Amino acid sequence: MADRLKDRVALMFGAGCCAPGIGNGRATALAYAREGALVVAVDIDRDAAEETVRMIRAEGGRAVALAGDVTEAAQVNAAVAAARVAFGGRIDILHNNVGITSMGGPVEESIESWEHVMRSNLTGAFLTCKAVLPVMVEQGKGAIVNISSLAAIRYTGYPYSSYYASKAGLNHFTVGLALQYARQGIRANVIMPGLMNTPLIHQQISGQYASTEAMMQARDEACPMGKMGEPWDIAMAAVFLASDEAKFITGVCLPVDGGQHCRA
């Protein structure tokens, strides 16, 4: 265990995993803990959050698990209050990892689906920031890391209008935060994962292909480096952005995509 984030309280929304294994959120929670952070792992599925905490504690880290739905302000506020009680009142890092997809363009997707995606992917980050920013302002310091997507700036080949729109909104929402709060010691950055090999793609993307094997091959081939990224690639970028190594970096939308954003 290193100490780049020693004794900093990291509040993570979406710290579990949608299936057995390790996705972007769980990998980041583990990476934060390995660097000395005190992790508050929040997930809509409490069992998933508990599993992340079990893994952190097995490595000697400190963490607590909470259940919370980022689309519900009362649950977000309760999670923030519980996090402050758990680790002495501070929140040094806010990490928003929640994201869902729903296939369909404006004609095919229902209004209800559009609103659910927007509330999960964009309004959720607004609600967590609304609850945490006063704490960070009082401290005079804080780091916000929001997980967006390459889909925020590029068409990725999937027919999911609400996902494109919500992630693009998250990017600019974060840029606005960065500039509004820069003089108050608060940094805000975005990570834009490209094509990643996570449990989530098997749950939400695989239906766009003839088979799982076809999905894996097509996604690997679409990456300039010839292979999809891994959850640890996102985790390491998050650790950097949350640490003092990035103390002069704010308002950045960082692609972690093996160079895919460079393509037309």
How far is Cα 155 from Cα 59, in angstroms, rounded to an integer?
39
Nearest to 93 by CA among 54, 36, 51, 161: 36
Amino acid in position 19: A
What is the full per-residue pLDDT of the chain (264 aa) written as tens digits?
A: 579 999 999 999 999 987 788 999 999 999 999 999 999 999 999 999 999 999 999 999 999 999 999 999 999 999 999 999 999 999 999 999 999 999 999 999 999 999 999 999 999 999 999 999 999 999 999 999 999 999 999 999 889 999 999 999 999 999 999 999 999 999 999 999 999 898 877 877 767 888 888 888 989 999 999 999 999 999 999 999 999 999 999 999 999 999 999 986
Selected catalytic residue, list 160, 163, 164, 181: 163
181 is catalytic: no
In this structure, what token pair is assigned to residue 257?
Answer: 């995509």
In this structure, what token pair is assigned to residue 139?
Answer: 């401290």
What's the half-sphere exposure (Cβ side, CA atoms, 13 Å) at 203?
Answer: 12
How far is Cα 74 from Cα 64, in angstroms, rounded to an integer?
19
Angle at 11 between CA 7 and CA 16, to 5 degrees: 115
